[in-house]
Amino acid sequence: MSETVTPVIGLIGGSGLYDLPGLQQREWKRIESPWGEPSDEILHGTLSGVPVRFLPRHGRGHPTPPSRLNYRANIDAMKRAGCTEIISLSAVGSLKEELPPGHFVIVDQFIDRTFAREKSFFETGCVGHVSVAHPVCPRLGDALEASARKLGLPVTRGGTYMVMEGPQFSTKAESLLYRSWGCSVIGMTNMPEAKLAREAELCYATVAMVTDFDCWHPDHDAVTVDQVVKVLFGNADLARGLVADVVPGLGAPRGHCPAGCDRALDHALITAPEK
Residues that bind ligand ADE (CB under 6 A): 91-93, 164, 169, 186-188, 211-212, 214, 223, 228
Q: Which of 40, 212, 245, 262 is catalytic?
A: 212
Residue 58 in contact with residue 12, Cβ under 8 Å?
no
Active-site residue, 219 included: no
Q: Which residue's CB is nearer to ligand ADE, number 209 or number 250?
A: 209
Q: How many CA atoms lie within 13 A of 90 on its CB side?
A: 29
Q: Which of 214, 219, 245, 266 is catalytic?
A: 214
> Minimal distance in Å, beta carbon 11 to ligand ADE?
18
Q: Which residue is nearest to ligand ADE (CB)?
A: 93
Strand partners, 212: 93
Active-site residue, 142 included: no
Q: Which residue's CB is nearer to ligand ADE, number 4 or number 168?
A: 168
CA–CA dist 7, 196 (Å, integer): 19
Residue 210 in contact with residue 185, Cβ under 8 Å?
yes
Q: Which residue's CB is nearer to ligand ADE, number 111 or number 127?
A: 111
**Burial code of 136-149, b = ≥16 C-beta within 10 A, e = fewer?**
bbbbbbebbbebbe
> Minimal distance in Å, beta carbon 198 to ligand ADE?
22
Distances (CA, A) of 67 to 77, 91, 232: 18, 15, 20
Give start and end residues of each alpha helix (H) in the chain: 71-80, 138-150, 172-180, 193-199, 225-250
Q: Which residue's CB is nearer to ligand ADE, number 20 or number 92?
A: 92
Pairing assessment for the beta strands 85-94 and 127-129 based on DSSP bridges:
unpaired
Q: Which residue's CB is nearer to ligand ADE, number 12 or number 23?
A: 12
CA–CA dist 75, 36 (Å, integer): 11
Residue 192 in contact with residue 118, Cβ under 8 Å?
yes
| Distance between first and last Cα of the chain | 33
Q: Which residues are catalytic?
A: 212, 214
